[in-house]
Amino acid sequence: MQAALSDRLVGIISPRAMRRRMAARAGAELVDMSLKAARPSGGRRRYEAGRHNRLTRDWHPGSGSADATITQDLGVMRNRSRDLARNNPYVAALVRQLVANLVGDGIEARAAHPDPAIQKLAQEIWLKFARSKVDGRHDFYGLQKLAVRTMVEGGDVLNVWTAKDGVPDARCRLVEGDQLETPSGLWGLLNTNGPLIRDGVEFDGAGDRAAYHLLRDHPGDMLRGLLRKYDRVDAQHVDHMFEPTRPGQTRGVPWLAPSMMVVRMLQDLDVAIATKKRMQACIGIIRTMSRDEDEEEVDVGTETEAGEDEGSGSPALERMVPGMVVEGLPGEEYTTITPTADGDSDTFYRQQLRSVAAAIGIPDHLMTGDVGQANYSSLRAATVAFWAVLDDWQWNVIVPFLCDPAFARVMRREALLRREPRLAECTAEWTPPPRQWVDPIKDVAALVMQERAGFINKPEILAQRGKEYRAHFEEKAAVQALGDKLGLVFDTDPRRVNGSGALQPPSGFVLPKDDADSRSVVSFFGRMLDATERGDRAAINQGFVEAATALRDGDPNGQAMAAIIGALTGADEPENRE
């Protein structure tokens, strides 16, 4: 760096000051150069993820709409997803765990209406429908399980409602996404004068779903699938369930889509590792003939069916098996080959399985069954996070697209048949399957504390366990009444026994009204007994006053109270009357 004129003038007086000035100016120039290098071209701030450089040279994502990115590959992804669910043990376990946690033994409905009579009638109607053969084979809870599994594997599922014996919306039929297809291929693009059809879904002028174009038979059927005959089904008769991830999305994608390639790679890796393990069980051998021996003079004999050379006794080395002993010919040399160990393939395999589970949103131990590296805290954290994902799927996908429409259809149908329009006003409060506790003692204690603090109520707690609170309370009251009638006291009855197993003190709001007289006598006896043991004369005198007052007023408990105070004190009158 060349010194400026001012620096040289300063240097005449103080060379040290000149060097400091030059060093400061050089540092300032370096900072300015760094800022210019970091500033984007054109002076605009940009995201690093949007830059084009050598690190992103091969990254060319498409800019298509939600439907454009799905339509062309949906069929291939659907077929591959089902193949993995059929043949890959980890994917099979993943799908089964998802369905079990999302649906379990069924997502149940609790009818809600301001009129208790209508509410009770609606509940009876729904239970009768849900437990019937809604599709000719499954009840509604079995239909939920099959619908959710179809959505997970194929991306979407359609529940088509049809009439039965002249009654509308009386029968369900699940249809796979394979049968939802636009007629004549390019109909949705070329038919500019008609309705807009995307992937088999017809839209009206307002952009709402108007109809679904369904193949009568599955296209994969060996015989009838070749006919490819379509039916236009009005949208009011179809419930289309899938998980939307972008606005304007018409169809859903298989849930395994982000991790299919990883699973496929792991399948190939699994075969390679298994082959290597088999090789490690054998000893590879290379046979070298003697140099001073002419190959033409060696009697090779004839090869038998077992692969052995009869002339030399030497085995066919291409067919090595574990435990084989090789006998060589004179002059032959054998070199063994021992394969190396697997290294860190097990760690890599486990990490990739974790990525597959994370892509779906479930804890990896549910897919692999491996909890060897887990503890209570990690399992608890993973389970709580998984419950949040379950809530999202249940309340934002399954309930609004499958359960709510079914309940509304049944109530509308019965409102017409029974001529009771108030049934159509009923809504449903859905109860997912109960979730098993990680630590029952801690979890129950937490629920009790939340209820005592007023954060939740008993109906909400019972709903989490899959119980309808009205029916539960009625059943509990019936059991307690029968126990009281037979004179039974259970250790789990909080009216009689506290948490430590001791008898509860009598309380007016606990005992029945018919026992009011005996309650007052028992309470008086307890207070007097305690006062006598403590030698509390004031409390004993107060007891005499209460007994005398009861006798004077004609209270039927007066005689008993006087007898109690006399028996405990041995006197008929108080020693000191205040």
Contact partners, residue 290, CB within 8 Å, separation at least 6: 330, 331, 332, 333
- In the predicted structure, residue 287 carries a pLDDT above the cut 70: no
Q: Is residue 9 part of a domain?
A: yes
Q: Is residue 542 part of a domain?
A: yes
pLDDT confidence of residue 223: 74
Q: Is residue 473 part of a domain?
A: no
- In the predicted structure, residue 539 carries a pLDDT above the cut 80: yes
Q: How far from 37 is each of 33, 47, 57, 193, 521, CA to CA, in Å?
A: 6, 15, 21, 56, 94
Q: What is the DSSP letter of 426?
A: -
- In the predicted structure, residue 114 carries a pLDDT above the cut 90: yes
Mark 142-181 as b/e (b = at least 16 C-beta within 10 Å): bbbbbbbbbbbbbbbbbbbbeeeeeeebbbbebbbbbbbb
CA distance 223 to 231: 18
Tens digits of residue pLDDT in 460-507: 888 777 677 888 888 888 988 888 888 887 878 877 777 666 666 654
Sign of CA dihedral 55, 60, 64, 67: negative
Domain count, the chain: 2
Q: What percentage of the chain has pLDDT greater than the value 70?
A: 77
Tens digits of residue pLDDT in 51-97: 778 888 788 888 888 898 898 899 999 999 999 999 999 999 999 99
Question: Nearest 5°: phi and psi at 499?
Answer: -65, -25
Q: Is residue 34 part of a domain?
A: yes
Reported confidence tier of residue 229, pLDDT bands at 50, 70, 90: confident
CA distance 327 to 280: 21
pLDDT confidence of residue 417: 93
> Largest Cα–Cα distance in the chain?
138
Residue type, 436: Q
Q: Give residue for tokens 């506790």.
A: 437
- Crossing angle of helices 89-102 and 260-280, in 10° steps, is 140
- In the predicted structure, residue 455 carries a pLDDT above the cut 60: yes
- In the predicted structure, residue 31 carries a pLDDT above the cut 70: no
Higher pLDDT, residue 51 or 256: 256
Residues of the domain holding 25: 5-42
Q: Is residue 29 part of a domain?
A: yes
Tens digits of residue pLDDT in 126-137: 999 999 999 999
Higher pLDDT, residue 41 or 378: 378
Q: What is the mean pLDDT of the chain?
A: 80
Q: Is residue 423 part of a domain?
A: no
Q: Name the strand (E) or helix (H) holding 233.
A: strand 230-234
Q: Is residue 33 part of a domain?
A: yes
- In the predicted structure, residue 574 carries a pLDDT above the cut 60: no
pLDDT confidence of residue 151: 96
Q: Is residue 13 part of a domain?
A: yes
CB-CB neighbours of 533 under 10 Å: 9
pTM higher than 0.85: no
Q: What is the mean pLDDT of residues 545-566?
A: 81
Sign of CA dihedral 488, 494, 500, 505: negative
